[in-house]
Amino acid sequence: MENVDYSLYFIMGSMNVDNPFSILEDALKGGITCFQFREKGRNALVGNEKKAFAQSCQRLCAQYGVPFIVNDDVDLAIEIDADGVHVGQDDACATEVRKKIGPTKLLGVSVHSVEEARMAIEAGANYVGMGPVYATPSKADAKPVAGTSMIQHVANLYPDLPIVGIGGIATHNLGPVIQAGATGVSVISAIASAKDAEMATADLKGAFLQWKTQKSTVQG
Protein backbone atom coordinates (compact mmCIF):
# COMPACT_ATOMS: atom_id res chain seq x y z
CA MET A 1 0.00 0.00 0.00
CA GLU A 2 1.55 3.28 -1.09
CA ASN A 3 0.97 6.96 -0.43
CA VAL A 4 -0.79 6.48 2.88
CA ASP A 5 -2.05 9.67 4.52
CA TYR A 6 -1.15 9.44 8.21
CA SER A 7 -2.40 12.91 9.11
CA LEU A 8 -5.38 11.90 11.26
CA TYR A 9 -5.13 8.34 12.48
CA PHE A 10 -8.06 7.15 14.61
CA ILE A 11 -7.78 4.13 16.93
CA MET A 12 -10.76 2.37 18.48
CA GLY A 13 -12.21 -0.91 19.72
CA SER A 14 -15.62 -1.78 21.08
CA MET A 15 -14.57 -1.25 24.72
CA ASN A 16 -15.71 1.76 26.74
CA VAL A 17 -17.93 3.19 24.01
CA ASP A 18 -21.67 2.82 23.49
CA ASN A 19 -21.88 2.58 19.75
CA PRO A 20 -18.42 2.03 18.27
CA PHE A 21 -19.66 1.40 14.77
CA SER A 22 -21.47 4.73 14.55
CA ILE A 23 -18.47 6.51 16.10
CA LEU A 24 -16.28 5.04 13.36
CA GLU A 25 -18.78 6.12 10.70
CA ASP A 26 -18.84 9.66 12.12
CA ALA A 27 -15.03 9.71 12.26
CA LEU A 28 -14.86 8.62 8.62
CA LYS A 29 -17.36 11.31 7.63
CA GLY A 30 -15.32 13.85 9.58
CA GLY A 31 -12.17 12.98 7.66
CA ILE A 32 -9.93 10.47 9.44
CA THR A 33 -7.22 9.20 7.10
CA CYS A 34 -6.27 5.92 8.84
CA PHE A 35 -8.04 3.58 11.21
CA GLN A 36 -6.58 1.09 13.69
CA PHE A 37 -8.79 -1.66 15.11
CA ARG A 38 -7.61 -2.00 18.73
CA GLU A 39 -9.69 -4.59 20.56
CA LYS A 40 -7.96 -5.40 23.83
CA GLY A 41 -8.31 -5.32 27.61
CA ARG A 42 -11.38 -5.53 29.80
CA ASN A 43 -14.68 -6.12 27.92
CA ALA A 44 -12.88 -6.67 24.63
CA LEU A 45 -14.51 -8.98 22.13
CA VAL A 46 -12.71 -12.24 21.38
CA GLY A 47 -12.89 -15.03 18.83
CA ASN A 48 -15.61 -14.89 16.18
CA GLU A 49 -17.23 -11.81 17.71
CA LYS A 50 -13.96 -9.93 17.48
CA LYS A 51 -13.47 -11.06 13.89
CA ALA A 52 -17.01 -10.13 12.85
CA PHE A 53 -16.73 -6.67 14.39
CA ALA A 54 -13.31 -6.17 12.81
CA GLN A 55 -14.73 -7.07 9.42
CA SER A 56 -17.66 -4.69 9.73
CA CYS A 57 -15.23 -1.88 10.60
CA GLN A 58 -13.01 -2.98 7.71
CA ARG A 59 -15.91 -2.81 5.21
CA LEU A 60 -16.86 0.65 6.44
CA CYS A 61 -13.27 1.90 6.11
CA ALA A 62 -13.13 0.47 2.58
CA GLN A 63 -16.21 2.50 1.63
CA TYR A 64 -14.31 5.65 2.57
CA GLY A 65 -10.99 4.52 1.08
CA VAL A 66 -9.34 4.63 4.51
CA PRO A 67 -6.65 2.05 5.41
CA PHE A 68 -7.74 -0.49 8.02
CA ILE A 69 -4.91 -1.53 10.36
CA VAL A 70 -5.14 -4.19 13.09
CA ASN A 71 -3.46 -3.61 16.46
CA ASP A 72 -1.35 -6.48 17.91
CA ASP A 73 -3.28 -9.39 16.39
CA VAL A 74 -1.13 -10.33 13.38
CA ASP A 75 -3.05 -13.55 12.70
CA LEU A 76 -6.37 -11.69 12.55
CA ALA A 77 -4.86 -9.10 10.22
CA ILE A 78 -3.73 -11.85 7.86
CA GLU A 79 -6.99 -13.81 8.14
CA ILE A 80 -9.20 -10.87 7.19
CA ASP A 81 -6.71 -9.38 4.71
CA ALA A 82 -6.38 -6.09 6.60
CA ASP A 83 -4.32 -3.29 5.06
CA GLY A 84 -1.76 -3.61 7.82
CA VAL A 85 -0.83 -4.27 11.40
CA HIS A 86 0.58 -2.20 14.27
CA VAL A 87 2.86 -3.74 16.91
CA GLY A 88 4.62 -2.38 19.97
CA GLN A 89 7.98 -3.26 21.51
CA ASP A 90 6.33 -5.88 23.76
CA ASP A 91 4.35 -7.48 20.94
CA ALA A 92 5.53 -9.76 18.14
CA CYS A 93 8.98 -8.98 16.72
CA ALA A 94 8.60 -6.47 13.88
CA THR A 95 10.98 -8.34 11.58
CA GLU A 96 8.95 -11.53 12.03
CA VAL A 97 5.71 -9.63 11.48
CA ARG A 98 7.04 -8.20 8.21
CA LYS A 99 7.93 -11.73 7.09
CA LYS A 100 4.44 -12.97 7.99
CA ILE A 101 2.44 -10.17 6.34
CA GLY A 102 4.60 -9.87 3.23
CA PRO A 103 6.10 -6.80 1.57
CA THR A 104 2.96 -4.90 0.54
CA LYS A 105 0.99 -4.65 3.79
CA LEU A 106 1.47 -1.72 6.13
CA LEU A 107 3.59 -2.28 9.21
CA GLY A 108 3.48 0.21 12.06
CA VAL A 109 5.77 -0.05 15.09
CA SER A 110 5.68 1.86 18.39
CA VAL A 111 9.08 3.37 19.19
CA HIS A 112 10.45 5.48 22.04
CA SER A 113 14.07 6.06 21.08
CA VAL A 114 16.38 6.55 18.11
CA GLU A 115 17.58 2.96 18.45
CA GLU A 116 14.02 1.58 18.35
CA ALA A 117 13.27 3.79 15.33
CA ARG A 118 16.38 2.50 13.55
CA MET A 119 15.39 -1.11 14.27
CA ALA A 120 11.82 -0.46 13.09
CA ILE A 121 13.13 0.89 9.80
CA GLU A 122 15.40 -2.15 9.45
CA ALA A 123 12.43 -4.42 10.12
CA GLY A 124 10.54 -2.77 7.25
CA ALA A 125 8.17 -0.49 9.15
CA ASN A 126 6.12 1.88 6.99
CA TYR A 127 5.59 4.26 9.90
CA VAL A 128 6.30 4.56 13.62
CA GLY A 129 4.00 5.60 16.46
CA MET A 130 5.67 7.76 19.14
CA GLY A 131 4.35 8.63 22.56
CA PRO A 132 2.68 9.06 24.86
CA VAL A 133 3.24 12.70 24.02
CA TYR A 134 0.83 13.80 26.78
CA ALA A 135 -0.96 11.98 29.61
CA THR A 136 -3.48 9.55 28.22
CA PRO A 137 -6.75 8.28 29.67
CA SER A 138 -6.85 5.39 27.19
CA LYS A 139 -3.89 3.14 28.01
CA ALA A 140 -3.34 2.01 31.60
CA ASP A 141 0.09 0.52 30.86
CA ALA A 142 1.37 3.48 28.83
CA LYS A 143 5.02 4.47 29.18
CA PRO A 144 5.83 7.76 30.98
CA VAL A 145 4.80 10.94 29.19
CA ALA A 146 7.49 11.73 26.63
CA GLY A 147 6.60 15.17 25.26
CA THR A 148 7.77 15.98 21.75
CA SER A 149 11.57 16.03 21.99
CA MET A 150 12.13 12.43 20.87
CA ILE A 151 9.77 12.98 17.91
CA GLN A 152 11.90 15.94 16.90
CA HIS A 153 15.09 13.92 17.27
CA VAL A 154 13.83 10.97 15.20
CA ALA A 155 12.28 13.28 12.57
CA ASN A 156 15.60 15.06 12.12
CA LEU A 157 17.56 11.81 11.82
CA TYR A 158 15.05 10.03 9.57
CA PRO A 159 13.24 12.69 7.51
CA ASP A 160 11.62 10.09 5.24
CA LEU A 161 10.12 8.05 8.08
CA PRO A 162 6.43 8.79 8.71
CA ILE A 163 5.96 9.51 12.44
CA VAL A 164 2.58 9.47 14.14
CA GLY A 165 2.41 11.16 17.55
CA ILE A 166 0.10 9.49 20.07
CA GLY A 167 -1.16 9.98 23.62
CA GLY A 168 -3.48 12.65 24.98
CA ILE A 169 -3.55 14.54 21.69
CA ALA A 170 -6.48 16.86 21.04
CA THR A 171 -7.20 19.97 18.99
CA HIS A 172 -5.74 22.35 21.61
CA ASN A 173 -2.36 20.56 21.99
CA LEU A 174 -1.74 19.13 18.54
CA GLY A 175 0.45 22.02 17.39
CA PRO A 176 3.71 21.10 19.17
CA VAL A 177 3.46 17.53 17.83
CA ILE A 178 3.36 18.79 14.24
CA GLN A 179 6.00 21.42 14.91
CA ALA A 180 8.31 18.70 16.25
CA GLY A 181 8.09 16.98 12.86
CA ALA A 182 5.33 14.39 13.21
CA THR A 183 3.68 13.41 9.95
CA GLY A 184 0.36 12.93 11.69
CA VAL A 185 -1.46 12.46 14.96
CA SER A 186 -3.15 9.41 16.34
CA VAL A 187 -6.08 9.70 18.75
CA ILE A 188 -8.55 7.58 20.67
CA SER A 189 -10.44 9.71 23.19
CA ALA A 190 -10.40 13.01 21.28
CA ILE A 191 -12.80 11.34 18.84
CA ALA A 192 -14.28 8.32 20.65
CA SER A 193 -15.23 10.30 23.77
CA ALA A 194 -16.42 13.42 21.97
CA LYS A 195 -20.09 14.42 22.12
CA ASP A 196 -20.07 14.70 18.33
CA ALA A 197 -17.40 12.47 16.79
CA GLU A 198 -17.81 13.89 13.30
CA MET A 199 -17.37 17.46 14.46
CA ALA A 200 -14.45 16.51 16.73
CA THR A 201 -12.77 14.83 13.77
CA ALA A 202 -13.32 17.82 11.52
CA ASP A 203 -11.91 20.11 14.23
CA LEU A 204 -8.80 17.93 14.61
CA LYS A 205 -8.34 17.89 10.87
CA GLY A 206 -8.68 21.67 10.68
CA ALA A 207 -6.12 22.13 13.46
CA PHE A 208 -3.76 19.66 11.80
CA LEU A 209 -3.92 21.48 8.46
CA GLN A 210 -3.42 24.86 10.09
CA TRP A 211 -0.29 23.70 11.97
CA LYS A 212 1.06 21.85 8.95
CA THR A 213 0.65 24.95 6.78
CA GLN A 214 2.30 27.11 9.41
CA LYS A 215 5.25 24.70 9.64
CA SER A 216 5.81 24.61 5.88
CA THR A 217 5.45 28.40 5.62
CA VAL A 218 8.13 28.90 8.30
CA GLN A 219 10.40 26.29 6.67
CA GLY A 220 9.89 27.91 3.27
Ligand X SMILES: Cc1ncc(COP(=O)(O)OP(=O)(O)O)c(N)n1
Which residues participate in catalysis according to the annotation? 38, 110, 139
For 134, residues 6+ apart whose C-beta sits below 8 A from its C-beta are 145, 167, 168, 169, 173
Residue 36 binding result from Mg ion, ligand TZP, ligand X, none, given CB thresholds of 5 to 8 Å by partner type: ligand X
Kindly tell me which of 59 and 143 has the beta carbon lying closer to ligand TZP. Answer: 143
Q: Please state the closest distance from residue 69 (CB atom) to ligand X, in A.
A: 8
Within residues 144-203, the interface with ligand TZP by CB under 6 A covers: 166-169, 187-190
Kindly tell me which of 132 and 181 has the beta carbon lying closer to Mg ion. Answer: 132
Phi, psi dihedral angles at 62 (to 5 degrees): -60, -35
Q: Please state the closest distance from residue 17 (CB atom) to Mg ion, in A.
A: 19
72 binds Mg ion (CB under 5 A): yes
86 binds ligand X (CB under 6 A): yes
Binding residues for Mg(2+), by number, are: 72, 91
Coil, helix or strand at residue 59: helix
Q: What's the length of the chain? A: 220
| End-to-end alpha carbon distance in the chain | 30
Q: Please state the closest distance from residue 192 (CB atom) to ligand X, in A.
A: 14
| String marking each residue 164-193 x if it binds ligand X according to CB under 6 A | x-x-------------------x-------
- Euclidean distance between CA atoms 106 and 50, whole angstroms: 21
